Amino acid sequence: MLQGWFIAGSSFAYLGLLFAIAYYAGRRADAGRSVIARPSIYALSLAVYCTTWTYYGSVGRAAASGIGFLPIYLGPTLMMALCWFVLRKMIRIAKANRLTSIADFVAARYGKSQLLGGLVTVIAVIGVIPYIALQLKAVSNSFTILLHYPEIVMPSRADTLPWQKDSTLYVALLLAAFTILFGTRHLDATERHEGMVAAIAFESVVKLVAFSSVGLFVTFGIYDGFGDIFSRAGTSPHLAELLTLHGASAGASSWVSLTFLSMMSILLLPRQFQIAVVENVDENHLRRAVWLFPLYLLLINLFVMPIALGGLLHFGAAGVDADTFVLTLPMVYQQQGLALLVFLGGLSAATGMVIVETIALSTMVCNDLVMPLLLRLRWLGLSRRDDLSGLLLDIRRSAIVAILLLGYSYFRAAGEAYALVGIGLISFAAVAQFAPVIFGALYWKGGTRGGALAGLSAGFLVWCYTLLLPSFAKSGWLPSDFMDQGLFGLALLKPQQLFGLSGLDEIAHCLFWSMLANVGAYLGVSLARSPDAREARQATLFVDVFRVTPAPAGAAIWRGRAQVDELLPLMGRFLGPERARAALDQYARERGVASVDALAADAGLVHYAENLLAGAIGSASARVMVASVVEEEPLGLDEVLDILDEAYQMRAYSRQLEQQSQELSAATRELRAANLRLTELDRLKDDFISTVTHELRTPLTSIRAFSEMLFADPRIELTERRRFLGIIVAETERLTRLINQVLDLAKIESGNAEWHSAEIDLREVLLASVEATGPLFKERGIALDLALPAAAPAIKADRDRLIQVMMNLLSNAVKFCAPGVGRVTVSLKVEAGYLWVDVADNGPGIRRDDQKIIFEKFRQGGRGNDVLTGKPLGTGLGLPISRQIIEHFGGELRVESAPEEGGIGATFSFSLPLATQEVKPT
Amino acid sequence: MNRSRLTGSRLIAVFLLGCVLLNYPLLSLLDRSVEFLGVPLLYAYVFVIWAGLIGLMAAVIERPGG
């Protein structure tokens, strides 16, 4: 079934499907229901990083150098951990300033320099062209191989074919047409392409599924799992060598440089910048991407080694290129469907890369290279044309075709000299040249336009000399003399052993020299003079993006005169008249102004217009254009710095104010709580007083009643008289006791009680208490048992107070036991650093509901009334006082009783810590 | 604010940890002809550490409210 027409038909069907997805997503985006506003879609679209270079090339590299293919994926994994800082900051900056490409980003940071934007564009185009060539090569090779099914035929050298017969050319043109359809249907001021992102995310899934299918087929279909493949490979000395670091030719320098390169590439490749920064919908999507994207990388690399070893085991040295194992292994085993799936997977890897990369590059070429040149050529009269938006689109379309044709040319020139991975690394090394100026842009305010120009140029030239030209020479496109003997015959200038540096592979060698030149020039030239006003302003907008809000800060640093009826046509020329009008309408609405004509052409409006234009034609050109219609007053560096300082101070003040108001509201909250507490205490005090007076009145009333009877009636009999006097005496005693206890409690609670702490033996205290209450027990016929240990540790406490507690507990126990059969047990034990004293009785017990309230003031258990007066025996203060005393010594007083469950009696227990520390009453 | 700063510090820690674990000279320590579940130790190590780092990153950044 694998005829040429069928393969081509499947490819077209696949591309059609992609287009349908993009179209659907685009429609949804226009309707405001974006399908890509999901963190997982964002993470998947980042996987545009995995091109055919990963798809076919990883296996090739693994077959040649074992584990050496991995740093290219470990680097991005590590970088993603830092992305929370770096990428988030780039996204924030790009959105605030409407930056749409990496060239624009660099140009805007270093004073909106057109020259710098142009240089970045040139470097990016030249650097990435080999990478695009690689995609073309992969697609055309895989097509050719599949066409010869079931035979395995390696594609003949491309340059032996005349160009008309070279399928690669047609692949290039087809991809160009496809990209134009995708990326330049209309002009968008934010350069966002929702449809494209949806298609890219879909392609990422296709790539992963296709590659994993081959991996599973090879690992479990042909062989018997991972262990089988590795053990078979282990028997061949050549293959066994691949499984070690030594044979992997992955020396430390190569490993480190590849990791570094891939870390930079994940941020700085034009397509990664496009997807990760420009197309980002919500910076919170980064959260998911931080781990999902590395996970994708891990999964797509899981089967690389098994496929590489499987291919090597099967084909041996039979002249099958290891870059093609992914495709040729299924073919050898007559898996037609799988082979077709692999081809489509490769196609999706290639199209994804080519589409995003060329769209990103075409934006850069248009905004930072072509437009600045065209606008300078006055004879074209561009500045007088009414609507240039169509021209912008045409420039981009031409740029896309031109870039793909350049890629094709490189493929013809140098494509066969390198394996896939080699070509990709050349591109990586080129974009790594952006690293110093980008990181400088993000974190260093001292970088200047001159420094950036010098650094980029120096790094780029070294890259050309040590990596690009040698790649031409190796393909025979350039004479190889300068490779072997050095430029002008000077051995010190050998491109790949510059100044005699040897022992590094070509990538590490290039990286070392180019970074040395790049960073050195960037820092050196930047430090030679202080930044001028515009650089300082842009530096602030970039470095402090999380601290300053760009719109006011950007607008504040501008002074001049402008007119709306000049700004509007200018915007119309590049955005289209209707869109410009609509944008200004919206601005007017946001400002609360009735119409566009009523807008004041102040600094804010000029800033808004410039930002909007920056989205369409790049920040540098936008600035030139806006400056052409407004009268700008140049600001000196000092003025700019003053304004920025002011902005900072305002911010600092407002932060201070915010902090103070927070402190104030916290204080208010505390005060309110304190007030609440006081009111509650006041209420408790009132309750207490009213209870106390009530308790005092009861005995007083009865004393008074009996006294009056005695006073009024002298004829009362003696026995009666004695009884009355007895009651009066008892009530007076009760009154005295009550008053004493109230005073006592008040003293303890207010912290004025006197404590006479001394070393005491608790056994002695218990014995003394028992002795003192002995008559009471005898009187009521209640038995008292003592269970004391032979010795107890001495503790520090107030002896009298403890006796007071014991007397209270013992007299309570007596009160509640039935006379004659009652039995009270006092025991002492040491447990977990505490001395525990239990006083257990066999009375009626205390119901659970009462167990809490008996410790409250004036609340009593309810039984055991006085024989004489019929009133409760106690004052209701004994237990509260006892509890306060025990707590003062750091112990606790509690009761256990369960009459509801048939338990007998109640047990009051208190504890005293062995290492007693007096607790200050609260 | 504090919590997001903590998340940031943790991510940097994961980055540094990864830089050390997935690099020379630790890799050369594991470069021996020992097998782990049928897979050469070096490969098993790299993939296990790789997966571990991803797990750590996910745990750090996806913490509720983090």
Residue range A503-531, pLDDT digits in tens: 778 888 889 999 999 999 999 998 988 88
Measure the CA dihedral A799/A805/A806/A811, to 10°: 140
Domain residues of chain B, as ranges?
A: 2-61
User: Which of B7, B54, B56, B63 to probe the A interface (max A CBs under 10 A)?
Assistant: B54
Q: What is the pLDDT of residue A810?
A: 86
Question: Does residue A564 contact residue A599 with C-beta atoms inside 8 Å?
Answer: yes
- The verdict on ipTM greater than 0.90 is yes
Of A47, A146, A62, A50, nearest to A419 by C-alpha is A62
Alpha carbon A365 to chain centroid, angstroms:
34
Q: Which secondary structure element, helix H or strand E, spans residue A687, and what is its range?
A: helix A637-712
Q: Which secondary structure element, helix H or strand E, spans residue A114, and what is its range?
A: helix A114-147
Q: Give the other-Cβ count within 10 Å of A896's Cβ.
A: 15
Q: Which residues of A touch B22 (CB under 8 A)?
A: 74, 78, 259
- In 3-state terms, what secondary structure has residue B1? coil
> What CA–CA distance (Å, rounded) separates A578 from A595?
15
User: A9 touching B, CB under 8 A?
Assistant: no
pLDDT in tens, A863-879: 444 444 444 456 677 88
Residues 10-49 of B with CB under 8 A from A: 11-12, 14-15, 18-19, 22-25, 27-28, 31, 33, 35, 37-40, 42-43, 46-47
Q: What is the pLDDT of residue A604?
A: 76
C-alpha pair distances (Å), A684 with each of A678, A697, A856, A898: 10, 20, 12, 31
Residue A665 has pLDDT above 60, yes or no: yes
> What CA–CA distance (Å, rounded) separates A354 from A11?
16
> What CA–CA distance (Å, rounded) separates A463 from B10?
36
User: Which of B20, B27, B39, B42 to probe the A interface (max A CBs under 10 A)?
Assistant: B39
Nearest CA in chain A to B36: A227
Alpha carbon A363 to chain centroid, angstroms:
31
The mean per-residue pLDDT over the stretch A523-548 comes to: 82
Percent of chain A whose pLDDT exceeds 90: 15
Residue A57 has pLDDT above 60, yes or no: yes
Choice between A721 and A248, residue whose per-residue pLDDT is larger: A721
Residue A435 has pLDDT above 80, yes or no: yes
Q: Concatenated DSSP letters for A477-522?
A: SS-SHHHHH-GGG-GGG-GGGGGG--SS-HHHHHHHHHHHHHHHHH
The mean per-residue pLDDT over the stretch A400-429 comes to: 77
Nearest CA in chain B to A256: B23
Longest dimension (CA), chain B: 49
Are the beta carbons of A74 and B42 separated by less than 8 Å? no
pLDDT in tens, A744-766: 888 887 777 777 888 888 888 88
Of A101, A95, A106, nearest to A549 by C-alpha is A95
Angle CA A611–A612–A615, to nearest 5: 90
Q: Between helices A389-414 and A603-617, what is the axis angle to 10°?
A: 40
Q: What is the pLDDT of residue A864?
A: 42
Using left for φ > 0, alpha for ψ between -120 and 50, and beta otherwise, residue A238 falls in alpha
For A862, the token pair is 């309810």
Give B40's strand partners: B35
For A230, the token pair is 């590795």
Of A621, A604, A553, A880, nearest to A745 by C-alpha is A880
The mean per-residue pLDDT over the stretch A415-439 comes to: 78
Question: Does residue A681 contact residue A702 with C-beta atoms inside 8 Å?
Answer: no
Alpha helix stretches (DSSP H) within A302-417: 304-315, 325-332, 336-364, 371-376, 389-414
Q: Which CATH superfamily is domain A4-375+397-528 in?
A: Sodium/glucose cotransporter (1.20.1730.10)
Q: Which secondary structure element, helix H or strand E, spans residue A255, and what is its range?
A: helix A252-268
Q: Domain A757-913 is in which class?
A: alpha beta
- In 3-state terms, what secondary structure has residue A916? coil
Q: Which amino acid is at A879?
A: L
Buried b (16+ CB within 10 A) or exposed e, A473-490: bbbebbeeebbeebeeee
Q: What is the pLDDT of residue B1?
A: 46
Residue A479 has pLDDT above 90, yes or no: no
**Torsional sign, CA A620, A625, A628, A630:** negative
Q: Report phi then psi at A603, rounded to 5.
A: -60, -35
Question: Does residue A795 contact residue A760 with C-beta atoms inside 8 Å?
Answer: yes
Which residue matches tokens 């790009």? A94
For A792, the token pair is 């107890």
pLDDT in tens, A816-844: 888 878 888 888 888 878 888 888 888 88
**pLDDT tier for residue A553 given thresholds of 50, 70 and 90:** low
Q: Are strands A795-798 and A757-760 parallel, antiparallel or unpaired?
A: antiparallel
The mean per-residue pLDDT over the stretch A19-33 comes to: 82
Alpha carbon A673 to chain centroid, angstroms:
37
Of A121, A126, A128, A120, nearest to A53 by C-alpha is A128
C-alpha pair distances (Å), A210 with each of A285, A303, A308, A819: 26, 12, 16, 95
User: A547 touching B, CB under 8 A?
Assistant: no
Q: Which residues of B touch A84 (CB under 8 A)?
A: 7-8, 11, 61
Residues 288-317 of A with CB under 8 A from B: 288, 290-291, 294-295, 298, 302, 305
Q: Which amino acid is at A815?
A: K
The mean per-residue pLDDT over the stretch A190-196 comes to: 75
> What CA–CA distance (Å, rounded) separates A782 from A815?
10
Question: Does residue A514 contact residue A463 with C-beta atoms inside 8 Å?
Answer: yes
Choice between A867 and A658, residue whose per-residue pLDDT is larger: A658
Pick from A319-333, A632-646, A672-686, A794-808 the range whose average pLDDT is largest.
Answer: A672-686
The mean per-residue pLDDT over the stretch A60-70 comes to: 84
Residue A159 has pLDDT above 50, yes or no: no
The mean per-residue pLDDT over the stretch A634-654 comes to: 68
Question: Which residues touch A87 (CB under 8 Å, ≥6 apart)?
Answer: A267, A276, A277, A286
Q: Which residues of A touch B24 (CB under 8 A)?
A: 252, 255-256
pLDDT in tens, A883-895: 888 888 888 888 8
For A918, the token pair is 């007096």
Are the beta carbons of B39 and A81 separated by less than 8 Å? no
Which residue matches tokens 């951990």? A81
pLDDT in tens, A267-302: 999 999 999 998 888 888 888 899 999 999 999 999
